[in-house]
Structure 1
């Protein structure tokens, strides 16, 4: 879905041929095959992420101009990609006006008189000879290739990718550290299967907080799960002077409210709805994940499960956020996503 969205955001009169890649390794192979004078690069990808891709582009001295398009909006993420040679950074979801402004500013595209820019361009040189020699058949090929099939799971994963980036940015600001963001895991699961979906091993001791959320036609619950060793490290990063059992609960509830609020706001922006959330409820502390899940399984009736694992770079801190949606919610989300699949 991310590839389709960026393809649809490109200027319709830009005479180029598009090559699609599903991860950084595929991108490098395409560049080495001579494709990609300009590359729009995501950061959160399987196999090889965007940071690794930029490092390899520099190492291999590959001739491409890179614009990063990502839901990871941390200031440190932006600084890293620019230091690795990216021309610019665009946050997801990319708007056509923003893409047009960036392409024009770097002299990669010259807009016609009826196209508007969000900001005055800083560079005005024309497109390259290679671009100007592209035929009309290339344009037709470009347009048809961007209409590939996108599944509902692709959509769930991509809107979560954007939303988790908002929460990751908040976590980075709270801790002052860089937060590593994963590719979200999307599954259709029964409540009894939840512990099998989690990154935590069954014997690991964890603590968990649960919060309900509701919006127009969409409802569910979110779990925040912390390894016991992570809670103390997180408390120190948040500048708690003394770590007590009460401190642990405070860390859990504060982070749950903040992270879930950021994720729900990110989802709401894309789905054009507003969510409300309940007060955090501590489900259990210092328990094996399977025991904690089994003790609360009767409270959940879910079909769609989305898991996001946040890790603080250079610290032994791992926290899982699990979003549990009801069956009715899935139908409502699908209806709201139809315009993105069009």
Structure 2
């Protein structure tokens, strides 16, 4: 018996990882959508029995899809698969009709157990069909997406606030562009920039946390609201940086299966000379509170020299 299955996720790596976890006989029948609008077009062509749905997507996100499905007469069963693992995200999707919530990256055994509980036949005699390789940038974006979600979940638990998450943005920067970015931030006396380096198995990089006065004001409000001890702005910012860096880099390390050594976080006061700056791949992530403003921004800097090694480490994720 064939199953009409759709995986809706903007990440090619996430779609591939999830499809690989399904029983092999199912994999030939899976259709893919990159956002809610593409999903609507697919369902108009042919309904689905089961939908695996991401939350953070461009144009039409998972929450909007769930709301739309409530008005559809032949809506599929929905399992949400997301890097945003905040408790509020879970409550919201379950209230909107999702059957279950799985965190990224998907692991085959819990997924198959869930499908068995839902009454699906999980025969796996068929050989697994090949899937196309995933581009390096897409794979790295998804790995950072998972790390971003775990850091947000920790912040949300600490402060009792839902953290709004973006899609991580990747940019390649030359020395002049990187210098302009760093100097622009460090020349602003009101902007705090905290840095932490990391390295392991030939891969190295630097994580920066950027915080404007508005973000610190939000931090102060959250601290008071949760009856936490009063602290200076720099102490609050350092505490936030320690939290974000620790969880983000730990999630990065786990997914790459590489232990990272990390330097102590420091508040930066000046940018390195442009002659010392390498070409760099930058990953930008903005954490914000809905309707209240930007809390902080995370900037992950990966020098060009480390990318070949990173590509090698990520090859099993991209090709298998």
Smaller-chain TM-score bracket? 0.7 to 0.9
What is the SS of the residue equivalent to 2:268?
strand
**Aligned partner (choices 78, 93, 102) of residue 114 of structure 2:** 102
What is the SS of the residue equivalent to 1:13?
helix
State how far apart, in whole Å, the 2-side matches of 1:15 and 1:93 are.
Answer: 18
State how far apart, in whole Å, the 2-side matches of 1:43 and 1:280 are.
Answer: 32
The aligned counterpart of 1:29 is 41
State how far apart, in whole Å, the 1-side matches of 2:74 and 2:261 are.
Answer: 48
What is the SS of the residue equivalent to 1:179?
coil
The aligned counterpart of 1:338 is 315
The aligned counterpart of 2:154 is 170
Q: CA deviation at 1:15?
A: 7.5
**Aligned partner (choices 54, 69, 73) of residue 66 of structure 2:** 54
Kindly tell me: are residues 16 and 25 of structure 1, through their superposed partners in 2, closer, same or farther at Cα, counting changes over 3 Å? same
What is the SS of the residue equivalent to 2:239?
helix
Whether 1:207 aligns to 2:218 is: no
**Aligned partner (choices 66, 69, 84) of residue 72 of structure 1:** 84
The aligned counterpart of 1:111 is 122
State how far apart, in whole Å, the 1-side matches of 2:214 and 2:229 are.
Answer: 12
What is the SS of the residue equivalent to 1:148?
coil
Whether 1:86 aligns to 2:98 is: yes
| Pairs aligned (count) | 301
**Aligned partner (choices 57, 64, 71) of residue 45 of structure 1:** 57
Q: 1:130-209 counterparts in 2 under 5 A? A: 143=129, 147-194=131-178, 205-209=190-194
**Aligned partner (choices 215, 224, 236) of residue 239 of structure 1:** 224
Unaligned runs of 5+ in 1: 116-138, 285-291
Is the 8 Å Cα contact of residues 38 and 64 (structure 1) preserved in structure 2? yes
Whether 1:307 aligns to 2:307 is: no
Higher CA-based Rg: 1
What is the SS of the residue equivalent to 1:46?
coil
What is the SS of the residue equivalent to 2:278?
coil
Whether 1:223 aligns to 2:205 is: no
Is the 8 Å Cα contact of residues 28 and 129 (structure 2) preserved in structure 1? no
**Aligned partner (choices 243, 261, 276) of residue 276 of structure 1:** 261
Is the 8 Å Cα contact of residues 271 and 337 (structure 1) preserved in structure 2? yes
Deviations 1:41-63 (A, max 9, x none): 11121111111111111134442
The aligned counterpart of 1:323 is 300
Is the 8 Å Cα contact of residues 54 and 84 (structure 1) preserved in structure 2? yes
Deviations 1:13-49 (A, max 9, x none): 3386111101121112212222321111111211111
Unaligned runs of 5+ in 2: 1-12
State how far apart, in whole Å, the 1-side matches of 2:174 and 2:196 are.
Answer: 19
Deviations 1:66-112 (A, max 9, x none): 111111111111111111111101111111112211111111x2234
Is the 8 Å Cα contact of residues 28 and 57 (structure 1) preserved in structure 2? no
The RMSD of aligned alpha carbons is 2.8
Kindly tell me: are residues 243 and 270 of structure 1, through their superposed partners in 2, closer, same or farther at Cα, counting changes over 3 Å? closer
**Aligned partner (choices 226, 230, 234) of residue 249 of structure 1:** 234
Is the 8 Å Cα contact of residues 305 and 325 (structure 1) preserved in structure 2? yes
State how far apart, in whole Å, the 2-side matches of 1:15 and 1:243 are.
Answer: 53
Deviations 1:165-199 (A, max 9, x none): 111111111211001111101121124324569xx
Is the 8 Å Cα contact of residues 74 and 169 (structure 1) preserved in structure 2? yes
Kindly tell me: are residues 230 and 62 of structure 1, through their superposed partners in 2, closer, same or farther at Cα, counting changes over 3 Å? farther
